A and B are shown apart, each in its own frame.
Chain A
Amino acid sequence: MSEHEPLVLGIETSCDETGIGIVRGRTLLSNTIASSMAEHARFGGVVPEVAARAHLEALEPAIRAATAEAGVALTDLDAIAVTSGPGLAGALMVGVGAAKSLAVSLDRPLYAVNHLVGHIAADILTGERVEYPTVALLVSGGHTSLLLVRDLVSDVELLGETMDDAAGEAFDKIARILGLPYPGGPEIDRVAAEGDPAAIRFPRGLSRASDMADHRYDFSFSGLKTAVARWVERAEATGEEISVPDVAASFREAVIDVLVTKALDACQRHGVPRLLLGGGVVANRRLREVALSRAEAAGVAVRIPPLTLCTDNGAMIAALAAELIRSGRPASTLSFGADSTLPVTQIQVAVSS
């Protein structure tokens, strides 16, 4: 295998995107994504069994499409990489089963890696110089985590994460309350464009002085969700006319304010002038705007990879494995499973001794 420019295929099935990525070292060759999002729309959220069935059907065509796009044969690959967790257990297992089997079939090493650290690795594929340490804010429908990355392959620390809903989930639930379709993020964003973000002062979860000791970098969106629901109900009860744009904009502002405030606080407290954004919620334009302007004022440089690398994808999984190979890490053994709660400190699982 080429230790410096390994050709790696990555398989990602932790949520509702079947991602197959192919990289050569730090160069992206294919980022193929098949999403089952449309199948979940009528349920208003990701249904695990629907997602797992979709992964099984999408995997083979996605692998074929990725190799075709990359212009490589499976037999050219130096290694296979797969997400072991965190994520939906049944969905992860489809990818793990396929990845192990492909590795045995091709007689290639297998790297089982952490999905969240994969999001950080995506930044490497932008072709720009990436510097560490950095604080990373990863926000999607499945997770909301604040990390301190001192070294991508050896030192990632969890500063905080959501105690209840992921931020993306909160967008979906509020969209439903406002009668907007799924997925909620883009819908709220669209409607909020006409609204006043300061119209209603919704609560900022875990942001009181009393929260700072134990939950300084943790998030909570369930109180916010309840506050929005109550506000709408009360307005309906009193016959008040509800401005959906104002509610959407004020809700969005509350989410973004907490995310950005905590991320920049982490940068300051850890003396790290860099912030990386990742996860599907990065598609939210207001989040990017607020993060960029407030980071600039704080003297923090923000990195935002292109959206196709921010949403769940296989390229980031391949990129992380390529970095592990470049730093001389041995492959994973074949004895590991799907770990739905894999801690972020475990960058690679089942490392062979």
Chain B
Amino acid sequence: MILGIDTSLGTSAAVVERDGVVRAEASSPDPLGHAEVIGLLLEAVLTEAAFGPIGATSAATEVELTHVAAGMGPGPFTGLRVGIAAARAFALGRDIPVVAVPSHAAAALSVLLADPFARVPRFAVVTDARRREFAYSVYDGLDDDGLPRCVAGPALAPRDAVDERLRELGAERRDVATVSAAMIALAAARAVAAGRELADASPLYLRAPDVTMPSGPKRVGT
């Protein structure tokens, strides 16, 4: 089983079986407060996962986790880091590996799996990147491993330029306000099964740290 964690938008945690069956999912839509809720959400999904798939009423059995899947963003940095730190620490505690998943890939998977019979045209997952910018990634269907095929991004675009950018990329815009940790875990399960890596181990910040360089000694006057 895989524990999924994402804090790129709200805070979400889930336990998913390797074949995709969701054991438990819990989330908080609050765009702040990631550090406050992460522990309770993890505790909740682990407790619930012991009773079998959602809706089942099995007796409690041990939840044997094999991986921790971490949503790597893009997303507001302060919150995003809480989930990645939590994923790494949890994996360390259990001595299991972390699987890095772009948060937009999980959002794309949600879109593509919503109706398995629908033919979804090329689309862009668009999330708020603050400072009047959006983050976007363009996806074109599922590949043979059952993973969203990423054709552009993740990248940033100014708020009033994003539509033009997506038109050039031939992608329909899909604004996303939450990322499901179950989809993070499912993407990780499919990546592990296919022996693929979806992201490297660094957070998808997309921006250099914000610093104001001191401009030499300040004159104070006399």
Q: Chain A residues in contact with chain B, CB under 8 A? A: 43-45, 47, 49-50, 52-53, 55-57, 59-60, 63-64, 74, 89-90, 92-106, 110, 176-177, 226, 229-230, 232-234, 237, 334-338
Contact = CB atoms under 8 A, between A and B. Distances in A.
Contacts of B33: 337
A335 B86 contact: no
Interface of A is mostly: helix
Interface stretch (B15-23, B139-147, B154-162, B203-211): B203-211
Contacts of B55: none
A278 B220 CA distance: 32
A208 to B, nearest CB: 21
Contacts of A50: 209, 211
A92 B40 CA distance: 18
B61 interface: no
Interface of B: 7, 33-40, 42-43, 46, 77-78, 81-94, 202-203, 205, 209-211, 213-214, 217-222
Contacts of A43: 211, 213-214
Contacts, number: 132
B90 A102 contact: yes
Contacts of A232: 217
A4 B7 CA distance: 38
Contacts of B211: 43, 47, 49-50
A112 to B, nearest CB: 10
A237 B222 CA distance: 10
B82 A93 contact: yes
Contacts of A64: 92
12 contacts: A43-B211, A56-B81, A74-B92, A90-B78, A97-B89, A98-B86, A98-B88, A99-B89, A101-B39, A229-B219, A233-B221, A233-B222
Contacts of A96: 35, 82
A44 B83 CA distance: 30
Contacts of A338: 35
B36 A63 contact: no
A102 B89 contact: yes
Given A43-B211, A335-B40, A56 B84 contact: yes
